Amino acid sequence: MFDVFGSVKGLLKIDQVCIDNNVFRMHYKATVIILIAFSLLVTSRQYIGDPIDCIVDEIPLGVMDTYCWIYSTFTVPERLTGVTGRDVVQPGVGSHVEGKDAVKYHKYYQWVCFVLFFQAILFYVPRYLWKSWEGGRLKMLVMDLNSPIVNDECKNDRKKILVDYFIGNLNRHNFYAFRFFVCEALNFVNVIGTDLLCGLLPRRSYDGLCVLPLNIVNEKIYVFLWFWFIILSILSGISLIYRIAVVAGPKLRHLLLRARSRLAESEELGKNIDPLIYKEVISDLSREMVDDEHSAHKRPFDA
Protein backbone atom coordinates (compact mmCIF):
# COMPACT_ATOMS: atom_id res chain seq x y z
CA MET A 1 0.00 0.00 0.00
CA PHE A 2 2.84 2.39 0.80
CA ASP A 3 4.11 1.92 -2.78
CA VAL A 4 0.82 3.39 -3.99
CA PHE A 5 1.62 6.64 -2.20
CA GLY A 6 5.29 6.67 -3.18
CA SER A 7 4.74 9.28 -5.87
CA VAL A 8 3.48 11.72 -3.23
CA LYS A 9 7.09 12.73 -2.56
CA GLY A 10 7.00 14.37 -5.98
CA LEU A 11 4.63 16.96 -4.51
CA LEU A 12 7.32 18.07 -2.09
CA LYS A 13 9.83 19.13 -4.73
CA ILE A 14 10.13 22.77 -5.70
CA ASP A 15 9.34 23.43 -9.36
CA GLN A 16 11.98 25.40 -11.22
CA VAL A 17 9.28 27.01 -13.38
CA CYS A 18 6.15 28.17 -11.58
CA ILE A 19 2.93 27.76 -13.60
CA ASP A 20 0.44 28.60 -10.82
CA ASN A 21 0.26 30.56 -7.56
CA ASN A 22 0.59 29.98 -3.82
CA VAL A 23 -3.13 29.39 -3.18
CA PHE A 24 -3.24 26.89 -6.05
CA ARG A 25 -0.30 25.02 -4.52
CA MET A 26 -2.05 24.89 -1.14
CA HIS A 27 -4.74 22.82 -2.85
CA TYR A 28 -2.69 20.27 -4.78
CA LYS A 29 0.39 20.13 -2.56
CA ALA A 30 -0.47 20.81 1.09
CA THR A 31 -4.06 19.53 1.04
CA VAL A 32 -3.30 16.40 -1.00
CA ILE A 33 -0.39 15.51 1.30
CA ILE A 34 -2.55 16.08 4.40
CA LEU A 35 -5.41 13.94 3.07
CA ILE A 36 -3.15 11.08 2.00
CA ALA A 37 -1.35 11.14 5.36
CA PHE A 38 -4.71 10.92 7.17
CA SER A 39 -5.82 8.14 4.84
CA LEU A 40 -2.69 6.16 5.72
CA LEU A 41 -3.26 6.81 9.41
CA VAL A 42 -6.86 5.58 9.30
CA THR A 43 -5.87 2.59 7.17
CA SER A 44 -3.21 1.52 9.64
CA ARG A 45 -5.63 1.80 12.56
CA GLN A 46 -8.40 0.05 10.65
CA TYR A 47 -6.58 -2.95 9.23
CA ILE A 48 -3.63 -3.28 11.62
CA GLY A 49 -5.10 -2.10 14.91
CA ASP A 50 -8.44 -2.80 16.58
CA PRO A 51 -11.09 -0.40 15.22
CA ILE A 52 -13.92 -1.63 17.47
CA ASP A 53 -14.27 -3.31 20.89
CA CYS A 54 -17.56 -4.90 21.95
CA ILE A 55 -18.55 -6.27 25.37
CA VAL A 56 -21.56 -8.58 25.21
CA ASP A 57 -22.55 -11.46 27.47
CA GLU A 58 -22.98 -14.96 26.01
CA ILE A 59 -21.45 -14.01 22.65
CA PRO A 60 -17.76 -14.49 21.79
CA LEU A 61 -16.09 -11.08 21.67
CA GLY A 62 -14.42 -11.72 18.31
CA VAL A 63 -17.76 -12.60 16.71
CA MET A 64 -19.45 -9.52 18.16
CA ASP A 65 -16.59 -7.25 17.08
CA THR A 66 -16.79 -8.55 13.51
CA TYR A 67 -20.58 -8.32 13.39
CA CYS A 68 -20.72 -4.77 14.73
CA TRP A 69 -17.95 -3.66 12.40
CA ILE A 70 -19.54 -5.11 9.26
CA TYR A 71 -23.15 -4.13 9.94
CA SER A 72 -24.27 -0.57 10.49
CA THR A 73 -25.17 1.01 13.78
CA PHE A 74 -27.45 3.99 14.29
CA THR A 75 -27.95 7.00 16.52
CA VAL A 76 -31.13 8.65 17.74
CA PRO A 77 -31.04 12.36 16.76
CA GLU A 78 -33.33 13.28 19.68
CA ARG A 79 -30.72 11.84 22.07
CA LEU A 80 -27.87 13.98 20.78
CA THR A 81 -28.60 16.59 23.47
CA GLY A 82 -28.66 16.11 27.20
CA VAL A 83 -26.21 15.43 30.00
CA THR A 84 -24.08 12.35 29.35
CA GLY A 85 -24.52 9.79 32.11
CA ARG A 86 -27.80 11.27 33.30
CA ASP A 87 -30.05 11.93 30.32
CA VAL A 88 -28.21 9.76 27.79
CA VAL A 89 -25.53 7.07 27.93
CA GLN A 90 -23.68 8.72 25.05
CA PRO A 91 -24.75 11.46 22.60
CA GLY A 92 -27.18 9.83 20.20
CA VAL A 93 -27.47 6.67 22.29
CA GLY A 94 -30.62 5.97 24.29
CA SER A 95 -33.99 4.30 24.40
CA HIS A 96 -36.35 4.89 21.50
CA VAL A 97 -39.68 3.71 20.19
CA GLU A 98 -39.37 1.61 17.05
CA GLY A 99 -41.20 3.25 14.15
CA LYS A 100 -41.85 6.46 16.08
CA ASP A 101 -38.48 7.98 16.96
CA ALA A 102 -36.24 8.91 14.04
CA VAL A 103 -32.95 7.04 13.77
CA LYS A 104 -29.88 7.78 11.65
CA TYR A 105 -27.88 4.84 10.32
CA HIS A 106 -24.10 4.99 9.95
CA LYS A 107 -22.52 2.62 7.45
CA TYR A 108 -19.28 4.29 6.50
CA TYR A 109 -16.73 3.14 9.07
CA GLN A 110 -14.79 1.06 6.55
CA TRP A 111 -14.94 3.80 3.96
CA VAL A 112 -13.31 6.73 5.76
CA CYS A 113 -9.79 5.93 4.51
CA PHE A 114 -11.09 5.58 0.94
CA VAL A 115 -13.10 8.81 1.20
CA LEU A 116 -9.98 10.68 2.35
CA PHE A 117 -7.98 9.25 -0.55
CA PHE A 118 -10.79 10.12 -3.00
CA GLN A 119 -10.80 13.68 -1.65
CA ALA A 120 -7.05 13.84 -2.26
CA ILE A 121 -7.67 12.85 -5.89
CA LEU A 122 -10.34 15.54 -6.24
CA PHE A 123 -7.95 18.19 -4.93
CA TYR A 124 -5.29 17.07 -7.42
CA VAL A 125 -7.62 17.06 -10.46
CA PRO A 126 -7.39 20.85 -11.11
CA ARG A 127 -3.60 20.62 -10.98
CA TYR A 128 -3.63 17.68 -13.41
CA LEU A 129 -5.93 19.54 -15.82
CA TRP A 130 -3.91 22.73 -15.70
CA LYS A 131 -0.60 20.94 -16.15
CA SER A 132 -2.03 19.12 -19.19
CA TRP A 133 -3.49 22.30 -20.69
CA GLU A 134 -0.39 24.41 -19.95
CA GLY A 135 1.73 21.86 -21.81
CA GLY A 136 5.11 23.19 -20.65
CA ARG A 137 4.66 26.53 -22.46
CA LEU A 138 6.16 28.65 -19.67
CA LYS A 139 9.15 26.35 -19.31
CA MET A 140 9.75 26.64 -23.04
CA LEU A 141 9.54 30.45 -22.91
CA VAL A 142 11.82 30.82 -19.89
CA MET A 143 14.73 29.05 -21.63
CA ASP A 144 17.06 29.26 -18.59
CA LEU A 145 16.40 33.00 -18.17
CA ASN A 146 15.57 32.22 -14.55
CA SER A 147 19.29 31.88 -13.93
CA PRO A 148 21.24 35.07 -13.19
CA ILE A 149 24.39 33.49 -14.66
CA VAL A 150 23.86 33.58 -18.42
CA ASN A 151 26.41 34.84 -20.96
CA ASP A 152 25.39 38.03 -22.77
CA GLU A 153 25.14 36.50 -26.23
CA CYS A 154 22.89 33.68 -25.09
CA LYS A 155 20.84 36.05 -22.94
CA ASN A 156 20.29 38.53 -25.77
CA ASP A 157 19.24 35.79 -28.20
CA ARG A 158 16.73 34.35 -25.77
CA LYS A 159 15.39 37.77 -24.81
CA LYS A 160 14.81 38.50 -28.49
CA ILE A 161 12.95 35.23 -28.96
CA LEU A 162 10.82 36.00 -25.91
CA VAL A 163 10.05 39.56 -27.05
CA ASP A 164 9.22 38.40 -30.59
CA TYR A 165 6.91 35.75 -29.17
CA PHE A 166 5.01 38.29 -27.06
CA ILE A 167 4.65 40.72 -29.93
CA GLY A 168 3.52 38.01 -32.32
CA ASN A 169 0.99 36.54 -29.89
CA LEU A 170 -0.62 39.58 -28.28
CA ASN A 171 -4.25 38.86 -27.29
CA ARG A 172 -3.95 35.23 -28.41
CA HIS A 173 -3.76 33.65 -24.98
CA ASN A 174 -7.25 34.40 -23.72
CA PHE A 175 -8.31 30.76 -23.84
CA TYR A 176 -5.03 29.80 -22.17
CA ALA A 177 -5.81 32.17 -19.29
CA PHE A 178 -9.47 31.09 -19.21
CA ARG A 179 -8.47 27.48 -18.56
CA PHE A 180 -6.33 28.57 -15.64
CA PHE A 181 -9.30 30.49 -14.20
CA VAL A 182 -11.43 27.35 -14.59
CA CYS A 183 -8.90 25.36 -12.56
CA GLU A 184 -8.90 28.03 -9.85
CA ALA A 185 -12.70 27.86 -9.75
CA LEU A 186 -12.52 24.05 -9.46
CA ASN A 187 -10.24 24.47 -6.45
CA PHE A 188 -12.84 26.68 -4.82
CA VAL A 189 -15.66 24.24 -5.62
CA ASN A 190 -13.60 21.40 -4.14
CA VAL A 191 -13.02 23.09 -0.83
CA ILE A 192 -16.54 24.42 -0.27
CA GLY A 193 -18.24 21.27 -1.58
CA THR A 194 -16.60 18.88 0.89
CA ASP A 195 -19.00 17.24 3.33
CA LEU A 196 -17.09 16.92 6.60
CA LEU A 197 -18.36 14.18 8.88
CA CYS A 198 -17.94 16.02 12.17
CA GLY A 199 -20.76 15.10 14.54
CA LEU A 200 -21.65 12.04 12.47
CA LEU A 201 -19.08 9.66 13.90
CA PRO A 202 -20.66 7.85 16.87
CA ARG A 203 -18.16 6.41 19.31
CA ARG A 204 -20.49 3.76 20.74
CA SER A 205 -23.39 1.67 19.49
CA TYR A 206 -26.41 1.16 21.72
CA ASP A 207 -26.55 -2.66 21.65
CA GLY A 208 -24.05 -4.47 23.83
CA LEU A 209 -21.72 -1.48 24.41
CA CYS A 210 -19.46 -1.42 21.37
CA VAL A 211 -16.70 1.15 21.61
CA LEU A 212 -15.37 2.62 18.34
CA PRO A 213 -11.86 3.95 19.10
CA LEU A 214 -11.20 4.45 15.38
CA ASN A 215 -13.97 7.04 15.25
CA ILE A 216 -12.16 9.09 17.87
CA VAL A 217 -9.26 9.33 15.41
CA ASN A 218 -11.66 10.06 12.56
CA GLU A 219 -13.29 12.83 14.58
CA LYS A 220 -9.97 14.56 15.24
CA ILE A 221 -9.05 14.26 11.56
CA TYR A 222 -12.26 15.91 10.41
CA VAL A 223 -12.06 18.65 13.03
CA PHE A 224 -8.62 19.53 11.68
CA LEU A 225 -9.88 19.33 8.07
CA TRP A 226 -12.82 21.57 8.96
CA PHE A 227 -10.52 24.37 10.10
CA TRP A 228 -8.09 23.77 7.20
CA PHE A 229 -10.87 23.89 4.61
CA ILE A 230 -12.33 27.06 6.14
CA ILE A 231 -8.94 28.79 5.84
CA LEU A 232 -8.43 27.40 2.34
CA SER A 233 -11.90 28.44 1.19
CA ILE A 234 -11.34 32.01 2.41
CA LEU A 235 -7.98 32.25 0.62
CA SER A 236 -9.45 30.67 -2.52
CA GLY A 237 -12.38 33.10 -2.46
CA ILE A 238 -10.02 36.08 -2.14
CA SER A 239 -7.91 34.68 -4.99
CA LEU A 240 -10.99 34.36 -7.22
CA ILE A 241 -12.10 37.92 -6.43
CA TYR A 242 -8.61 39.15 -7.28
CA ARG A 243 -8.63 37.16 -10.52
CA ILE A 244 -12.03 38.55 -11.55
CA ALA A 245 -10.81 42.08 -10.81
CA VAL A 246 -7.70 41.56 -12.94
CA VAL A 247 -9.71 40.12 -15.85
CA ALA A 248 -12.38 42.84 -15.70
CA GLY A 249 -10.01 45.78 -15.19
CA PRO A 250 -7.52 46.60 -17.97
CA LYS A 251 -6.21 49.53 -15.93
CA LEU A 252 -5.52 47.24 -13.01
CA ARG A 253 -3.56 44.89 -15.26
CA HIS A 254 -1.57 47.85 -16.52
CA LEU A 255 -0.80 49.01 -12.98
CA LEU A 256 0.24 45.52 -11.91
CA LEU A 257 2.56 45.17 -14.90
CA ARG A 258 4.13 48.56 -14.23
CA ALA A 259 4.57 47.74 -10.55
CA ARG A 260 6.28 44.45 -11.31
CA SER A 261 8.53 46.06 -13.90
CA ARG A 262 9.52 48.94 -11.65
CA LEU A 263 10.37 46.77 -8.64
CA ALA A 264 12.98 44.65 -10.36
CA GLU A 265 14.83 44.03 -7.09
CA SER A 266 11.81 42.46 -5.39
CA GLU A 267 11.83 38.72 -4.78
CA GLU A 268 8.22 38.56 -5.92
CA LEU A 269 9.13 39.91 -9.34
CA GLY A 270 9.75 37.44 -12.09
CA LYS A 271 8.83 34.09 -10.60
CA ASN A 272 10.26 32.29 -13.61
CA ILE A 273 12.81 34.85 -14.86
CA ASP A 274 15.69 36.49 -13.07
CA PRO A 275 14.47 39.97 -11.92
CA LEU A 276 17.12 41.96 -13.79
CA ILE A 277 16.60 39.98 -16.98
CA TYR A 278 12.85 40.45 -16.58
CA LYS A 279 13.37 44.20 -16.40
CA GLU A 280 15.41 44.10 -19.61
CA VAL A 281 12.75 41.96 -21.34
CA ILE A 282 10.03 44.47 -20.43
CA SER A 283 12.17 47.34 -21.70
CA ASP A 284 12.91 45.52 -24.97
CA LEU A 285 9.25 44.61 -25.37
CA SER A 286 8.18 48.22 -24.85
CA ARG A 287 10.77 49.45 -27.33
CA GLU A 288 9.73 46.94 -29.98
CA MET A 289 6.04 47.79 -29.56
CA VAL A 290 6.76 51.51 -29.90
CA ASP A 291 8.84 50.87 -33.04
CA ASP A 292 6.05 48.73 -34.53
CA GLU A 293 3.52 51.45 -33.75
CA HIS A 294 5.65 54.09 -35.45
CA SER A 295 6.13 51.84 -38.47
CA ALA A 296 2.38 51.31 -38.72
CA HIS A 297 1.83 55.09 -38.81
CA LYS A 298 4.50 55.67 -41.41
CA ARG A 299 3.35 53.03 -43.91
CA PRO A 300 0.32 54.94 -45.31
CA PHE A 301 2.45 58.09 -45.69
CA ASP A 302 5.24 56.18 -47.41
CA ALA A 303 2.76 54.58 -49.72
pLDDT at position 182: 93
pLDDT at position 89: 64
216-235: per-residue pLDDT in tens?
788 888 889 989 999 999 99
Give this prediction's pTM: 0.70
Q: Is residue 151 part of a domain?
A: yes
pLDDT at position 281: 75
If we measure between CA atoms, which residue out of 292, 290, 270, 291 comes closest to residue 281?
Answer: 270
Beta bridge partners of 53: 211
pLDDT at position 2: 45
For 46, the domain range is 6-72+107-302
- How many domains does one find in the chain? 1
Q: Is residue 84 part of a domain?
A: no
SS3 74: strand
pLDDT level of residue 295 (50, 70, 90 thresholds):
low
> Is the predicted pLDDT of residue 301 greater than 50, yes or no?
no
pLDDT level of residue 175 (50, 70, 90 thresholds):
confident
Q: Is residue 128 part of a domain?
A: yes
Q: Is residue 52 part of a domain?
A: yes
pLDDT at position 135: 85
65 contacts: CB under 8 Å, gap ≥ 6: 50, 52, 53, 54, 210
Q: Is residue 218 part of a domain?
A: yes
Q: Is residue 200 part of a domain?
A: yes
Q: Is residue 79 part of a domain?
A: no
pLDDT at position 267: 44
> Is the predicted pLDDT of residue 293 greater than 80, yes or no?
no
If we measure between CA atoms, which residue out of 236, 235, 254 comes closest to residue 246?
Answer: 254
Burial of residue 179 (CB within 10 Å: 0-12, 13-18, 19+) is: middle
98-131: per-residue pLDDT in tens?
766 777 776 666 778 888 899 999 999 999 999 9
Beta bridge partners of 75: 104
pLDDT cut 70: percent of the chain above it: 60
Name the residue with higher pLDDT: 97 or 64: 64
The mean pLDDT value for 152-160 works out to 78
- Give me the count of residues in the chain: 303
Q: What is the 3-state secondary structure (H, E, C) of 84-108?
A: ECCCECECCECCCCCCCCCCEEECC
10-53: per-residue pLDDT in tens?
677 777 778 888 899 999 999 999 999 998 888 887 666 667 77
Q: Is residue 90 part of a domain?
A: no
pLDDT at position 262: 57
